[in-house]
Amino acid sequence: MATIVMDDLHKVYAGGVKAVTGISLDIADGEMIVLVGPSGCGKSTLLRMVAGLETISDGTLKIGDRVVNNLEPAERDIAMVFQNYALYPHMTVFNNLAYGLRNRKFPKAEIDRRVREAAEMLEIAQFLDRKPRNLSGGQRQRVAMGRALVREPAAFLFDEPLSNLDAKLRVQMRVEIRQLQKRLKTTSLYVTHDQLEALTMADRLVVLNGGKIEQVGTPMDVFSKPASVFVAGFIGSPAMNMIDAAYLHDKGEGNALPALPQGADLIGVRPDDLLLTAPQGPHLRLSGTVALLEPAGAESHIYVMLEGNSQPITIRVQGLPTVLEGAQVDFYAALDALHPFVRETGLRVA
Amino acid sequence: MVENDRWGIFFAHLVLILGVALVVFPVYIAVIASTHPSGTFVRGVMPLLPGPNALENYRTVIFEGRSRAGTPPIGGMLWNSFVMAMAITVGKLSISILSAFAIVYFRFPFRMFFFWVIFLTLMLPVEVRIVPTFQVVADLGMLNSFAGLSIPLIASATATFLFRQFFMTVPEELMEAARVDGAGPLKFFKDILLPLSITNIAALFVIMFIYGWNQYLWPLLITTDPEYYTIVMGIQRMVTGGDSEPLWHLVMATVVLAALPPILVILFMQRLFVKGLTETEK
Ligand SMILES: Nc1ncnc2c1ncn2[C@@H]1O[C@H](COP(=O)(O)OP(=O)(O)O)[C@@H](O)[C@H]1O
Ligand SMILES: [Mg+2]
């Protein structure tokens, strides 16, 4: 149980790569923070700096009320779950869980109690005598979780813990990890490149890009008010459509565009917010040719080419679409569903 | 096709059988010769069937020796060889695994320099550096001692390399997980790296033991006291050392006994070896 405070953290690798450049973040006690961003944006680096596996080039890091910049990982009272699990291959599951406690000189009875309790919680009690190689991917994942759990640390650190699992198991473990975290109320820092994982698991999510924070907020905040073109494109799937404001002035037939904030020259609109029937209230009307239909079970994606616009526009509809490929369609967007950005800075206006 | 295959298999077997025969025949001759009385060899013909004197020959060789033929009982020599081979093996393994550990897991100044220095020693086997090494050992007063027999042979670039290669395949996260779990470098080495290296250790143990056991030139050079004779030099002395004709039946018994320990080591280590193979995959 602890807060984590990052104050202007920097990481410069030996080769001169600036992986993290000036990150400040306050994490409340018991909060689940998800770090999300594309591959190479510095998520792992930041997490490993918190863990103590990478040195901190500049800035201060506090866990609880201690500055931990120069402490060994073991002294920071954190536990980490690795992407490839990093289980000790020659030890039984029991010993994998017990190893950290033994090193900390816990009494035998206490070790036994904690290991069994964690194994119970993670439903791996029947595997305690097995070696990791005799477990399935999902079970190994649970053992890796168990190794963190038994320590009862101040914070959990997860580095893409689910990315080696198949899609179905990933969803299941996602739910379990979140439930467990809510129950234990342990401060957690969770790294993923999967925006859906980020949206579903986070109390607050932190979108990273190029070693910097793009936006911090609750999943709803970030989704409904992305702070930049980058966030808008990264969070939400299919990605938000981006249309030049000039184009809309030309071709938008609702002619409501004067309502746009000052300086906005790039308009984002989510595929869900594009409708095939005109909504109530002020809206925008566009038309184009259906280039491709993509049925995806409960929903379908319609790709529409706007005349004079090279990028196709994605529309998401429930069920099967009522339009045909090659047909001309009209579609609509409510004005309050538009996200105004400035192209040059990439930032949102208002 | 089928016929071709049949001939192929036949031919392959023929070659293999010839090869095995070529290797096994001299060993067979040695075993047979060690069971005959001394008179058999005077005629200059090697017998191909076992003789009646097996027990007596081996007893003579082990317990009595033939001082006239220049050899003490070989029990002592077997022991000396064993101690020397073990010292070399254990020494080589411990030093090389520790050097590999240092080179792979620690960042210290001139790390790559030391790595290449170790690499260079590959070019300097005992035979090449024998004169200066002898001088050093003599100056340190280590002639006629187990230390003198084994220490100069202990440094091993080969084993260091093999361990380094293996350590580099161990995922880095394992070390990081251990760090988070509160294991310092030595604890990580002892609890995780060493158990994972069992297979490699077993394989190298066999190779090193045989290397140590077969040492000939070096023991010959630095031991003058029969106390410290090794079995391999013993055989040589039996053949050339006496005033009379070599006692071939006893020489052969000695040869057979000298070949036994390496075989035992292989058999014993093979079990560990296979166990290691099946148990420590990642
Ligand atoms: N040990 C290292 N030495 C040098 N550069 C590194 C090292 N580790 C990561 N980097 C670089 O730092 C950047 C961020 O890496 P990382 O934190 O692993 O990204 P992510 O986890 O978000 O994919 C990348 O450009 C990567 O190439
Ligand atoms: Mg990463």
User: What pLDDT does B282 receive?
Assistant: 41
| Residue A216: CB atoms within 10 Å | 16
Query: Model confidence at A204, in pLDDT bands (50, 70, 90)?
Result: very high
The pTM for the full model equals 0.86
**What is the whole-number distance in angstroms between the Cα of residue A188 and the centre of ligand 2?**
17
Asked if omega into A238 is within 30° of 0 (cis), the reply is yes
ipTM value, please give it.
0.89
Of residues A261 and B81, more confidently modeled? B81
What is the three-class DSSP state of A297?
coil
Probe target for ligand 1 pocket from A11, A12, A13, with the most ligand atoms within 8 Å of CB: A13
Ligand 1 atom at minimal distance to the Cα of residue A48: 17
Is there a contact between A74 and B195 if contact means CB atoms under 8 Å apart? Answer: no
CA of A69 from ligand 1 middle (Å) equals 20
Q: Token pair of A241, please?
A: 């459509």
Structure tokens at A298: 């409960």
CB-ligand 1 contact for A39 (6 Å cutoff):
yes
A8: left (phi over 0), alpha (psi -120 to 50) or beta: left
Amino acid letter at A25?
Answer: L
pLDDT tens digits along A106-116 = 999 999 999 99
Mean pLDDT on A44-63 = 96
Of A45, A56, A191, A206, best ligand 1 pocket probe by most atoms within 8 Å of the beta carbon: A45
* Ligand 1 atom index nearest CA of A46: 17
For the CA of A38, the closest atom of ligand 1 is 22
DSSP label of A75: G
Q: Tell me if A90 and B173 make a contact (CB, 8 A cut-off).
A: no
> Strand pairing of A32-36 and A204-209?
parallel
Residue A247 clears pLDDT 60, i.e. is over it: yes
Residue B124, pLDDT above cutoff 90: no
Is B282's Cβ below 8 Å from some Cβ in A?
A: yes
**Which comes out higher in pLDDT, residue A265 or A111?**
A111
Q: Which residues are close to ligand 2, an ion, with C-beta < 5 A?
A: A 44
pLDDT band at B281 (very low <50, low <70, confident <90, very high): very low
Rounded Cα–Cα distance for residues A210 and A42 (Å): 7
Any A CB within 8 A of B180 CB: yes
Q: Who among B181, B279, B280 is closest to A99 (CB)?
A: B181
Out of A83, A88, A131, the one facing B174 most closely (by C-beta) is A88
CA distance A304 to B170: 51
Among A55, A87, A103, A105, which would you mutate to test the B interface (most chain B Cβ atoms within 10 Å of its Cβ)? A103
CB nearest to B177's CB, from A86, A90, A131: A86
Q: What is the pLDDT, as a whole number, of residue B45?
A: 73
The answer, yes or no, to whether any atom of ligand 1 lies below 6 A from the CB of A310, is no
What would the pLDDT profile of A84-99 be if each residue is shown by its tens digit?
999 999 999 999 999 9
Q: For residue range A33-44, what is the model confidence (pLDDT) as tens digits?
A: 999 999 999 999
Q: How far is A190 from B56, CA to CA, in rounded Å?
A: 77
Q: Specify the pairing of strand A328-334 against strand A283-296.
A: antiparallel
Distance from CA of A79 to the nearest CA of B (A): 7
Q: Using a pLDDT cut of 90, give the percent of chain A over it.
A: 83
Report, as an integer, the average pLDDT of A176-193.
Answer: 95
The pLDDT assigned to B167 comes to: 95
Average predicted confidence (pLDDT) for chain A: 93
User: Average pLDDT of A173-189?
Assistant: 95
Among the residues of B126-216, which ranges form H helices? 130-139, 146-150, 157-169, 172-180, 185-188, 194-196, 198-213
Mean of pLDDT values over B176-194: 95
State the average pLDDT over residues A237-251: 85
Residue bearing the bigger pLDDT, A310 or A340: A340
Q: Give the lowest-confidence range in A37-51, B61-75, B259-273.
A: B61-75
| CA A70/CA A76 separation, integer angstroms | 10
- Does the pLDDT at position B71 exceed 70? no
Write the residue in B173, B187, B281 that is nearest to A103 by C-beta. Answer: B187
Which pLDDT score, from 0 to 100, does residue B241 have?
65
Task: Test A99 with B173 for CB contact under 8 angstroms.
Answer: no
Given 3-state DSSP classes, what are the helix, strand and coil percentages for chain B, each rounded to the nearest 5?
Answer: 75, 0, 25
Domains along chain B? 79-241+259-278 (1.10.3720.10)
User: Do the Cβ atoms of A202 and A219 come closer than 8 Å?
Assistant: yes
A84 in contact with chain B, both atoms CB, cutoff 8 A: yes
Chain A residue with minimum CA distance to B175:
A86
- Give the mean model confidence (pLDDT) for residues A256-267: 76
Q: A67-94 burial, b for 16+ CB within 10 Å, e for fewer?
A: ebeeeebbebbbbbbbbbbbbbbbbbbb
Q: How far is B270 from chain A (nearest CA, A)?
A: 19
Range with lowest mean pLDDT among A345-349, B108-112, B241-245: B241-245
CA of A83 to the centre of ligand 2 (A): 8
A158 pLDDT tier (thresholds 50, 70, 90): very high
Nearest Cα of chain A lies from the Cα of B264 at a distance, in angstroms, of 27
pLDDT > 70: percent of chain B: 91
Percentage, residues of chain A above pLDDT 70: 97
> What is the nearest CA distance from A244 to chain B, expressed in angstroms?
46
Ordered strands of the A241-244 beta sheet: A241-244, A266-269, A339-341
A189 Cα–ligand 2 center, Å: 13
Q: Which of residues 101-120 of A touch B (CB under 8 A)?
A: 103-104
pLDDT score, position B211: 92
Query: Which of A50, A55, A76, A90 should be substituted to probe chain B, the one whose Cβ sees the most B Cβ atoms within 10 Å?
Result: A90
Q: What's phi and psi for A244, nearest 5 deg? A: -65, 135
pLDDT winner (highest mean) among A208-217, A317-326, B99-108: A208-217
